[in-house]
Structure 1
Amino acid sequence: MRSTLTLVAITLDCADPLELAAFYQRVTGHALHPKSDDEFAGLSREDGLFIGFQRVNDYQPPHWPGQSVPQQLHLDFAVEDIGAAEAMLLELGAAKPEHQPGGDRFRILLDPAGHPFCLVPSQR
């Protein structure tokens, strides 16, 4: 018998959980979890998905695109206008690495803790 798995949480390591939660809160509009603190912060989405940010002592951000410190994971965000979304995210504190292997198909940015994430076109 196979059971269905439901993704309920994604947690990212970082040096400053509240700072990274604030970045993603501005990006997604999700609510800051009321028990967030300096060690663990989180955002709650209306459908129950939780995005967590946990403090790791001596956190080392990933090195994109190199693998001396692997990226560990990345998030994809579907957007209608990649250029407009990129401009907004850069203003909010994201960074754009020089290496962009997607051409016009997708865009790679880095969050303030160095995690890569992609902007992909919305499926219409």
Structure 2
Amino acid sequence: MPMRMKLTAITLDCADPLALAAFYQQATGLERHPKSDADFAGLSCADGLFIGFQRVDDYRAPRWPDQTVPQQFHLDFAVEDLDEAEVRLLELGAGMPRHQSGEDRWRVFTDPAGHPFCLVRGSV
């Protein structure tokens, strides 16, 4: 029988934790953790999940879909309107790789530190 575990945090490496936390805070509306600083910043979700951003010296951004610097993971966010969300994320500084394989079901973006993440059509 598998051990019962609950995911409580996801932490992303980056060069500037406060800037990356600000990007995701503006994109999601999550609350910034009050002890965020230049080395480690975080956002708190109502369900208890914590998204952290930690400073890494000589950080190298993933290269998606190229694997010279692998993505290692990505986040998925559900949105009701892909077009509306795309406009907002690009305004906030997200990138949008040319390679898009999800057609109208999902879209791939990169955050300002280069981490790929997806928006998927779904209820919020």
TM more than 0.5: yes
4+ runs deviating over 3 angstroms: none
The amino acid of 1:46's aligned partner reads: A
Residue 84 of structure 2 aligns to a residue in which SS? Answer: helix
**What is the Cα-based RMSD across aligned positions, in Å?**
1.2
Question: What is the Cα deviation at residue 79 of structure 1?
Answer: 0.6
Number of equivalences: 124
TM-score between the two structures when normalised by the length of structure 1: 0.96
Partner of 1:17: 17
The SS at the match of 2:69 is coil
The one-letter code matched in structure 2 to 1:86 is E
Q: What is the one-letter code of the residue matched to 1:54? A: Q
For structure 2, the 5+ residue unaligned runs are none
C-alpha distance in 2 between matches for 1:44 and 1:54: 15
* CA–CA distance in structure 2, aligned partners of residues 71 and 3 of structure 1: 28
Name the counterpart of 1:111. Answer: 111
Question: What amino acid is the match of 1:89?
Answer: L
CA drift at 1:2: 3.3
Unaligned runs of 5+ residues in structure 1 are none
> Are positions 1:5 and 2:5 aligned together?
yes
User: Structure 2-normalised TM-score?
Assistant: 0.96
The C-alpha deviation readout for 1:28-57, integer Å capped at 9, x for no partner, is 111111111010000011221100000000
The equivalent of 2:63 in structure 1 is 63
Distance across 2 between alignment mates of 1:40 and 1:54: 4
**Which residue pairs with 1:94 in the alignment?**
94
